[in-house]
A and B are shown apart, each in its own frame.
Chain A
Amino acid sequence: MVRAAAVMAASPHVVHWGWFRIELANLLIILAMVVVFVIAMVVPFGRSAWARDDSGDRP
């Protein structure tokens, strides 16, 4: 943990593509959001702790 904090405090890593530049940490956050979004789309919801399937119908 101390090592992770030290890496974070070091001088910033920046990613360049031509005129586009972004700090690595921001890029990772945005990528993580996209990945989580895709996972939320793809992974079957099925039965969670709060949503049960009782054959989808209650008279």
Chain B
Amino acid sequence: MSGAGAAARRETARRPADSWTRALRERIERTVPPGQALPDRQPVFVSSWIYVFGVLTVASLVVVVATGCVLAVGGVAWWHVSSLGHFVNSLHLWSVELFFGFMVIHLWGKFWMAAWRGGRLLTWVTGVIAFVTSIGTAFTGYLSQSNFDSQWISAEAKDGINAIGVGAWFNVLNPGQMLLWHVVLLPLAIGLITVLHVVLVRRHGVVPPIDARDGE
């Protein structure tokens, strides 16, 4: 028996075919091959400022979540009674405005690039889901302010939600429920969809210019 054969047998014994760990690792590597997850080079056509708005959106999301976490430390009413709390609320508000601004500019850019080409439909779809989920998250934030604005917005918004029959499950007049959606469920959803979106971007690479040919 050759030494090489024994080594191969040992290798097979070390890596059982039904290893769940190995299956998961290979699944991950198939989805995003190692060099593609964090490449240090990009195609030469990646040469426009419009490319930075995706990263700016993710960076804004980080600031939104971080400032939201600081608000959470103080509790629901902290920002009404503390000047520091009010400043953190201001940080939270303006980071949200920047987040949406950058996200929409990113969307405009990707539209004009027809960035869904080359099997990238799901990347586009997850981007739109992230946008819509963000709108819902911001909305629950407005309902969680515990001030006049949230009183009025909830009084108005109930009619829209009730009109489609879901007002009892998503009760905008219940600030406790809205706060939990705002700080747990919806951020979790945005986090997951953002990860999926970025994984898809890395998996497919940056979309080539319209009318570009293979290997140029």
- Give A residues with C-beta under 8 Å from B: 29, 32-33, 36-37, 39-41, 43, 45, 51, 56-58
Report yes or no: B104 in contact with A41, Cβ–Cβ below 8 A: no
Instruction: Determine whether B47 belongs to the interface, using a CB cutoff of 8 Å to chain A.
Output: yes
Report yes or no: B101 in contact with A40, Cβ–Cβ below 8 A: no
Report yes or no: B109 in contact with A40, Cβ–Cβ below 8 A: yes
Report yes or no: B49 in contact with A43, Cβ–Cβ below 8 A: yes
Shortest Cβ distance from residue B79 to the other chain A in the assembled complex, whole angstroms: 15
Q: How many residues of B contact A (CB 8 A)?
A: 17
Q: Across the interface, name the chain A residue whose C-beta is closest to B44.
A: A56
Report yes or no: A40 in contact with B49, Cβ–Cβ below 8 A: yes
- Cα–Cα distance between A36 and B41 once the two chains are bound (Å): 26
Residues on A with C-beta less than 8 A from B42 are 51
Shortest Cβ distance from residue B83 to the other chain A in the assembled complex, whole angstroms: 12
Report yes or no: B48 in contact with A29, Cβ–Cβ below 8 A: no
- From known contacts A37-B105, A37-B109, infer whether A29 and B44 are also in contact, taking CB-CB under 8 Å: no
Instruction: Determine whether B131 belongs to the interface, using a CB cutoff of 8 Å to chain A.
Output: no
Instruction: Determine whether B46 belongs to the interface, using a CB cutoff of 8 Å to chain A.
Output: yes
Chain B contact residues, majority secondary structure? helix
Residues on A with C-beta less than 8 A from B149 are none
Please, could you name 10 A-B residue pairs with CB atoms under 8 Å apart, sorted by A? Answer: A29-B97, A32-B101, A36-B101, A37-B105, A40-B49, A40-B52, A43-B49, A45-B47, A45-B48, A51-B47
Q: Contact check: which of A41, A43, A58 meets B41 at CB < 8 Å? A: A58
Contact with A along B103-123 (1 / 0, CB 8 A): 011001100000000000000
Instruction: Determine whether B78 belongs to the interface, using a CB cutoff of 8 Å to chain A.
Output: no
Q: Contact check: which of A29, A32, A40, A57 meets B50 at CB < 8 Å? A: A40
Select the residue from A32, A33, A40, A58 with max chain B CB neighbours within 10 A: A40
- Cα–Cα distance between A45 and B50 once the two chains are bound (Å): 9
- Cα–Cα distance between A43 and B53 once the two chains are bound (Å): 14
- From known contacts A40-B49, A43-B49, infer whether A33 and B104 are also in contact, taking CB-CB under 8 Å: yes
- Cα–Cα distance between A12 and B14 once the two chains are bound (Å): 71
- Cα–Cα distance between A33 and B34 once the two chains are bound (Å): 36
Report yes or no: B49 in contact with A39, Cβ–Cβ below 8 A: yes
